[in-house]
């Protein structure tokens, strides 16, 4: 029987099929199936062999075999990882080209090399280019080893020779397994190379950081199953034309998800921003209509964000609706609630909603601030620079409670705010925050009346 010369993968779920189809039969995604060459042999890639592990009772595992953390030396990165990288874990760092992924990984080498041996494998830069970048970032250590290689077998052979504690691969799209006919960066190559690195991390207890590029949809290039294989997925976000970057944990088996770390890109590399709330509120205009501040929970950290809104008479028959950093469908829902329950004729206006600083608000606690910003712009009446708003808004216009309200209010007061709109139902149970006056509201009509009186 003739062996298969090619196989078909779904780039969304990683499902393998024998023939092409317009729709994946497993996940239902359209136009996600691509053809890749089948492996020549069923043998494992060069250098992947390891002795078979034996099953052991969990109570027999000693303290040395429990979760061990490796501090990276950057507090913001350690926060996102849950206290540091876990020994024997596989961490995937994704982001757009030029966003600063390689800079971040090379910078942490300086601290990691104080107690660990690090092997930095680059498939995109020569040794001379790595040396120049390390010199610019002031990273020097005798325990930092570099290798410019793209062949998976040669990388694994170098790992056996050097026995590093930490392995950094930049990037997974440049690695290839010579036993596969498909080119580097293809679905089959990315999947196979990641599996080899995962077995290396688990089998030898090496902490592995893998850099991955993102596609135009903003997800890691390669099959979706790639994110399920690794222990932690970090996304490096931000505009390359702006100085600030946000590192977000989309998946973390050893810590909380949705934690963020904030960095500023400077000439000497990435600099940590320990207080992102002050950063996101810097330059906020005084007494300008159409702006309101809310407090979002990013993992265990409360972060203040400014929501700006602009309502103007529609220039066409169909009004425009635009949102940046705020869910579009939720923004459309809030506009409908504002017209129906707040008696404001916003359906005849073009509406623009924007979250300052590149932050993305995806929790309902920002609803009330968005409603107030929209109403303030429509009425052309400022809310006040020292006023914030926290609460979820329902379809009937009611204001509902949110989680961690006390922690959010403490952060609001710490940044100098004096008044805060909160759900009336939960206002009586809250501890008094010195210097902060709470404005309890049960629905958006109450909030609009408070704006009119101020």
The mean pLDDT value for 73-98 works out to 90
Which one is predicted more confidently, 341 or 278?
Answer: 341
Length of the chain measured in residues: 454
Q: How far apart are CA 374 and CA 368, in angstroms?
A: 10
Asked whether the beta carbons of 124 and 169 are under 8 A apart, the reply is no
* Lowest-pLDDT choice from 329-343, 380-394, 420-434: 420-434
- pLDDT of amino acid 3: 54
- Residue 346 is given by DSSP the state G
Higher pLDDT, 342 or 221: 342
For residues 306 and 415, what is the distance between their CA atoms, to the nearest angstrom?
A: 13
Query: What DSSP character marks residue 151?
Result: B
- Name which residue leads in pLDDT, 61 or 260: 260
Judged by DSSP in three states, 226 sits in helix
Asked whether the beta carbons of 254 and 116 are under 8 A apart, the reply is no
**Does residue 135 carry a pLDDT above 80?**
yes
* pLDDT mean across residues, the chain: 86
Beta strands 144-148 and 90-95: pairing type? unpaired
What value does the mean pLDDT take over residues 63-86?
82
Per-residue tokens: 323? 């949102």
- Burial class of residue 316 (count of CB atoms within 10 Å of its CB; 0-12, 13-18, 19+): exposed
- Return the SS3 of 284: coil
Each residue's pLDDT tens digit, 307-316: 999 999 998 8
Q: What is the pLDDT of residues 239-263, one digit of tens each?
A: 766 778 889 888 999 888 777 888 9
Over range 196-225, report the average pLDDT: 79
Residue 392 and residue 296 in contact, taking contact as beta carbons nearer than 8 Å: no
pLDDT digits (tens, 9 = 90+) for 314-329: 988 899 999 999 999 9
Looking at per-residue pLDDT, the higher value among 31 and 147 belongs to 147
pLDDT higher than threshold 80 for residue 220:
no
* pLDDT score, position 443: 96
Query: Residue 53 — pLDDT band, cuts 50, 70, 90?
Result: low
Of 219, 364, 385, the closest CA to residue 306 belongs to 385
| Least confident piece of the model among 29-38, 145-154, 344-353 | 29-38
What is the rounded distance in angstroms from the CA atom of residue 103 to the CA atom of residue 124? Answer: 13
Q: What local confidence, expressed as pLDDT, does residue 183 receive?
A: 81
**pLDDT exceeds 50 at position 119:** yes
Three-state DSSP string of 103-116: HHHHHHHHHHCCCC
pLDDT of residue 59: 78
Q: Taking the CB of residue 394, how many other CB atoms lie within 10 A of it?
A: 15
CA distances from 441 to 3, 365, 385, 447 (A): 70, 14, 19, 6
Nearest to 308 by CA among 297, 318, 294, 320: 294
Interval 354-413: pLDDT, tens: 998 778 898 999 999 999 999 999 999 999 889 999 999 999 999 999 999 999 999 999
Which positions ≥6 away from 292 have C-beta within 8 Å?
Answer: 306, 307, 369, 370, 372, 373, 376, 383, 387, 388, 389
């Amino acid at each position: 029987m003739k062996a298969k010369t090619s196989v078909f993968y779904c780039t969304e779920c990683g499902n393998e099929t024998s023939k092409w189809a317009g729709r994946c039969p497993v996940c239902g995604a359209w136009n996600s199936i691509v053809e890749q060459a089948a492996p020549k042999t069923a043998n494992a890639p060069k250098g992947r062999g390891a002795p078979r592990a034996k099953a052991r009772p969990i109570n027999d595992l000693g303290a040395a075999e429990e979760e061990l953390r490796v501090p990276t030396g950057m507090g913001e990165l350690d926060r996102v990882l849950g206290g540091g990288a876990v020994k024997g874990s596989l961490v995937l760092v994704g982001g757009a080209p030029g966003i600063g992924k390689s800079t971040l990984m090379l910078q942490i080498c300086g601290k990691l090399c104080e107690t660990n041996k690090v092997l930095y494998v680059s498939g995109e830069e020569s040794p001379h280019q790595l040396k120049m970048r390390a010199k610019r970032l002031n990273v020097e250590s005798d325990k930092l080893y570099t290798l410019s290689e793209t062949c998976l077998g040669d990388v694994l052979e170098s790992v056996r020779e050097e026995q590093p504690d930490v392995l950094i691969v930049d990037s997974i799209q440049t690695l290839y397994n010579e036993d596969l006919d498909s080119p580097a960066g293809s679905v089959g190559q990315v999947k196979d190379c990641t599996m080899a690195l995962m077995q290396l991390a688990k089998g030898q207890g090496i902490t592995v950081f893998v850099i991955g590029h993102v596609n135009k949809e903003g997800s890691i290039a390669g099959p979706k199953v790639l994110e399920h294989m690794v222990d932690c997925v970090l996304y490096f976000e931000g505009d390359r034309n702006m100085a600030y970057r946000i590192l977000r944990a989309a998946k973390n088996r050893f810590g909380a998800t949705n934690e963020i770390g904030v960095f500023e890109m400077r000439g000497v590399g990435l600099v940590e921003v320990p207080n992102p709330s002050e950063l996101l509120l810097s330059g906020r205009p005084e007494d300008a209509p159409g702006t309101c501040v809310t407090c979002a929970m990013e993992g265990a950290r409360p972060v203040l964000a400014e929501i700006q809104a602009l309502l103007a008479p529609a220039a066409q028959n169909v009004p425009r609706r635009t949102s940046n950093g705020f869910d579009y469908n939720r923004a459309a829902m809030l506009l409908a609630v504002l017209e129906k329950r707040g008696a404001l004729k916003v359906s005849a206006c073009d509406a623009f909603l924007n979250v300052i600083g590149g932050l993305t608000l995806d929790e309902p606690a920002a609803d009330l601030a968005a409603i107030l910003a929209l109403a303030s712009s429509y009425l052309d009446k400022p809310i006040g620079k020292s006023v914030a708003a926290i609460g979820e808004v329902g379809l009937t216009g009611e204001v509902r409670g949110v989680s961690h309200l006390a922690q959010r209010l403490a952060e609001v007061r710490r940044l100098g705010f004096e008044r805060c709109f909160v759900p009336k139902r939960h206002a009586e149970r809250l501890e008094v925050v010195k210097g902060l006056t709470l404005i309890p509201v049960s629905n958006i009509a109450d909030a609009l009346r408070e704006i009119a009186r101020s």
